[in-house]
Each structure stands twice: as structure tokens, then as C-alpha cells.
């Protein structure tokens, strides 16, 4: 009686799915980084073998150079970066000089709340100054933080909306 082995079509399908998933990982890393990434960084981010990684990057480079897309992948020595094609730089420059979603001061205030939460508002104000009152109001309005009365001050905690917005897990979910 013959021993059964998976047919080659099934193995090819599995290989293709793995390759597609690896391409997506590399593409996502290059897209979000906004800077050149070297092989070591890409291997650490994607867990893809360095030899395979370089082959897959070449596929992505070819894909973006052949497709009608506003993006391309740049190579500098042994580093890669996804960037906007030059014909779209005027539009990108207009976007880039616009205002960020949160000011630098708001980002710093929110980072302290996230790092130390729950945190008393009075402690936050001592760290960040009186402008933090406005930041807290803004974050509460956006639903990113919650506050509850705690004596003469408020206790500030992160809301589920914060975790959803920044796509991070709560500490209790990580364990």
C-alpha cells in the first residue's frame, strides 16, 4: 500500500499563503516606519529569515514600480523605505505642514497619563503645568481618558477608547 503524502498543490498553496503574509508584514513595517530600515531591523520586526526577507523586498520593489500607485520603495545601501512618489510631493508637503492631531504638549501630557495611570490630576498639573487642565478636558471630550472625583482633585485613568485608538492592549490583557 502506498504512503499518502500531501499533494504538491496543497504545499504550493501553503507556501504562497506564507509568502503573502510575509510580504504584508514587510510592507506594513516599511509603510509605518517613515524612515529607512536595515535588514536587522526588518528581521527583528517581521521574524523573517534575512535571505528570504531580501528576496521578498525585491518582489515588493518590483510590485510598487509596476503598479499604478502613489508609493514606491527606495533602497539606500542595505536599507529600504516606503515613500511617496515624487509626482505627489506637493500634496504631501501641504499635508505635512498642517496641524498634527495632538500638539506636542498634548502628546506629552497624554504620555504621562498613560505611563502613570491612574494618576491624580493634581500630580499631573505639578508635572506638566496649568496647560494640562486644557489637555485633560480635550482628552475627556475625545473619550480617551476618564476622570472621577478623588477628594479635592480628580483621578485620571485611560478609557477603552484610548486602547482602541492607539491599538494597544490593556496590561491585564497582555498577561
Instruction: Compute the average pLDDT of residues 141-154.
Output: 94
Residue 161 has pLDDT above 80, yes or no: yes
The fraction of the chain above a pLDDT of 70, given in percent, is 87
Q: Which comes out higher in pLDDT, residue 81 or 98?
A: 81
Q: How far apart are CA 72 and CA 93, in angstroms?
A: 17
Per-residue pLDDT of 15-70, as tens digits, reads: 889 999 999 999 999 998 888 999 999 999 999 999 999 999 999 999 998 878 88
Residue 107 has pLDDT above 70, yes or no: yes
Domains within the chain, CATH numbers bracketed: 8-92 (1.10.10.10), 104-174 (1.10.10.10)
Instruction: Grade residue 175 by pLDDT with cuts at 50, 70 and 90.
Output: very low
Instruction: Compute the average pLDDT of residues 150-154.
Output: 95
Q: How far apart are CA 121 and CA 154, in angstroms?
A: 5
Instruction: Grade residue 8 by pLDDT with cuts at 50, 70 and 90.
Output: low
Q: What is the pTM of this model?
A: 0.51
Per-residue pLDDT of 109-127, as tens digits, reads: 999 999 999 999 999 999 9
Q: How far apart are CA 70 and CA 73, in angstroms?
A: 11
Question: What is the rounded average pLDDT for all residues in the chain?
Answer: 86
Residue 165: what pLDDT?
A: 82
Which residues 6+ apart lie within 8 Å of 92 measured at CB? 84
Amino acid at each position: 500500500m502506498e504512503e499518502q503524502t500531501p499533494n504538491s498543490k496543497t504545499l504550493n498553496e501553503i507556501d504562497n499563503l506564507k509568502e503573502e503574509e510575509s510580504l504584508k508584514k514587510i510592507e506594513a513595517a516599511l509603510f509605518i516606519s517613515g524612515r529607512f530600515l536595515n535588514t536587522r531591523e526588518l528581521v527583528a520586526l517581521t521574524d523573517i529569515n534575512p535571505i528570504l526577507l531580501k528576496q521578498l523586498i525585491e518582489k515588493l520593489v518590483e510590485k510598487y514600480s509596476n503598479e499604478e500607485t502613489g508609493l514606491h520603495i527606495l533602497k539606500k545601501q542595505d536599507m529600504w523605505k516606503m515613500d511617496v512618489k515624487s509626482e505627489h510631493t506637493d500634496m504631501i508637503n501641504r499635508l505635512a505642514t498642517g496641524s498634527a492631531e495632538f500638539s506636542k504638549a498634548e502628546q506629552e501630557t497624554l504620555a504621562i497619563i498613560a505611563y502613570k495611570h491612574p494618576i491624580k490630576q493634581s500630580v499631573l498639573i505639578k508635572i506638566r503645568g496649568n496647560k494640562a487642565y486644557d489637555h485633560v478636558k480635550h482628552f475627556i471630550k475625545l473619550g480617551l481618558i476618564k476622570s472621577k472625583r478623588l477628594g479635592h482633585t480628580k483621578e485620571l485613568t485611560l478609557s477603552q477608547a484610548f486602547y482602541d485608538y492607539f491599538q494597544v492592549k490593556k496590561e491585564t490583557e497582555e498577561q
